[in-house]
Amino acid sequence: MRFRFAPSPTGYLHIGNVRTAIYNYLISKKYNASFVLRIEDTDMERSSRESEQSILDDLKWLGIEWNEGPDVGGDFGPYRQSERFNIYKEYTERLIRDGKAYYCYCTQEELDIMRRESLLRNDDPVYQGRCRELSNNEKKKFEAEGRKPSVRFRLPKEETIIINDIIKGRVLFDSENIGGDFIITRPDGIPVYNYIVTIDDALMKISHVIRGEDHLSNTPKQMLIAHALNLPIPRYAHHALVLGPDKSKLSKRHGITSVNMYRRNGYLPEAIVNYLAILGWTSKSGEEIMPIDEIIKEIDIEDLSNKPAVFDFQKLKWINGHYIRNSPLNDITELSLPFIMDEGYCLDETDKDWLQKVISLLQGKCDLLSDISNLAGIFLKDVQEPDEEADELLNQEESKIIIEKLYTIISDDLDMNNFANDLINRIKENTSIKGKKLFMPLRAVLTGKLKGPELDKAIELIGFAKSKERISYFYDKYANK
Ligand code: GLU
């Protein structure tokens, strides 16, 4: 068995599209089969090498590995369509020679007029085959006029095309109903997707094509081309698409859709792979948190969903939180450091053991690596300015009493071996304010926030010097006015 993922490098890797890559990858792993990465870069205007590189980087980051592809080569390359034009040309010549394709000299203006006329007659606006049976003289005349021909595929008359789709079941198309003789090579010599995907899938010996159901309507064209060229036809499996919460195709206006942005926002690759795998596939146990190895064991092509799945941003975040909390501390520390440095902190002089303790404390509270870096200021800044909520609370009379007491306590002799607990115990003893009303202002002074990691552990890590500095600062800011 051989599988493939065939992205067009015209932008960032989309979260919906990468699900297709993930399915192909997981299932190829399951069957110990080859997984091919083919770059479909024939849209010269929109494709770029930068975009190709970012797709490769994102796939690698997700842990998706391919056995053959533009960077690693393989027996069936080249793996970029733009490097295979001579192959397609040979096949086009063969189709023309066999009368299965023909040159079409119609200009865009003529096609537009024909289209409008068809619409006026209430006919389907499809190509009516004006150049289907041109004589050699007619061709010469057009060429003498300087017209550059496209090449059209000659659709067979009244043929039923049957797709035995692994997910969709039996799907029938009528050759009369798939849009008329379609262009396989444009006048500028660039061959089109439906045509070359067929040749490539066959020459790359792809046995199974798993892709989104938006490609189902392309499949009859691809099968007819394969048939005309006597090429093998792969098994098709068209899975349902990912939708936004409003049930339209998932797009930017619903939230983040590029894999790259998820990476930059502090998601872990295993969480993304896990979430996308269960979005459109259900494990037998109904379990949702599944490491990739278990998914590989259980998943199969026929179990992929035929019903569109709504992308749940919150659930992905929740799954990410699970992976953050359950990953080894060393890994989370390594992964968090670049995020913390991106917040502008220099960690060169920072004690590594202390930093690891900080991250360990935050690991239990955070869903994203960027949450960890957002909260890191609690420990790294000299004074953590209060956020809006904390400021509001600290302006209240009761808070001022607490700040004054803290100021006295911190100037006193504290037990340095146990200073966080000593500080907390003393403030408890020295005020009649209790519970939340005491602890929220205490937290606000020491961390600048009303929410965060366990307070006693946080104060211990903030340390005496910074705690003292913060209390003095807040004393001046709120109490000593
Ligand atoms: N390049 C096509 C796309 O990105 C591939 C479609 C296919 O899998 O055949 O949509």
**pLDDT tens by residue, 385-411:** 999 999 999 999 999 999 999 999 988
Mean per-residue pLDDT of the chain = 94
How is residue 395 written in tokens? Answer: 């302006």
SS3 410: helix
Residue 264: per-residue pLDDT: 96
Residue 83 CA to ligand 1 center (angstroms) comes to 17
The reply to whether ligand 1 has any atom less than 6 angstroms from the CB of 211 is yes
What average pLDDT does this structure show over 458-476?
94
Predicted confidence band of residue 479 (pLDDT cuts 50, 70, 90): confident
Cα–Cα distance for residue pair 318/347, rounded to 1 Å: 29
Ligand 1, atom nearest to 4 Cα = 8
- Per-residue pLDDT for 412 more than 90? no
Residue 147 CA to ligand 1 center (angstroms) comes to 31
* Neighbouring C-beta atoms of residue 163, cutoff 10 Å: 20
How is residue 130 written in tokens? Answer: 């004006």
Residue nearest to atom 10 of ligand 1 (CA): 7
Residue 271 CA to ligand 1 center (angstroms) comes to 25
Residue 415: per-residue pLDDT: 80
Cα–Cα distance for residue pair 419/423, rounded to 1 Å: 6
- What are the distances in angstroms from CA 208 to CA 79, 158, 169, 247? 17, 27, 15, 29
What average pLDDT does this structure show over 56-76?
97
Residue 411: per-residue pLDDT: 86
Residue 94 CA to ligand 1 center (angstroms) comes to 25
What average pLDDT does this structure show over 59-67?
97
The reply to whether ligand 1 has any atom less than 6 angstroms from the CB of 219 is no
What average pLDDT does this structure show over 267-285?
94
**Residue of 399, 383, 382 lying closest to 391 (CA atoms):** 399
Residue 453 CA to ligand 1 center (angstroms) comes to 46
Predicted confidence band of residue 93 (pLDDT cuts 50, 70, 90): very high
Cα–Cα distance for residue pair 271/142, rounded to 1 Å: 59
pLDDT tens digits, residue range 14-45? Answer: 999 999 999 999 999 999 999 999 999 999 89
Q: What pTM does this model have?
A: 0.91
The reply to whether ligand 1 has any atom less than 6 angstroms from the CB of 197 is yes
The reply to whether ligand 1 has any atom less than 6 angstroms from the CB of 165 is no
pLDDT tens digits, residue range 111-156? Answer: 999 999 988 988 888 898 899 999 999 999 999 999 999 999 999 9
Residue 214 CA to ligand 1 center (angstroms) comes to 10
Residue nearest to atom 3 of ligand 1 (CA): 7
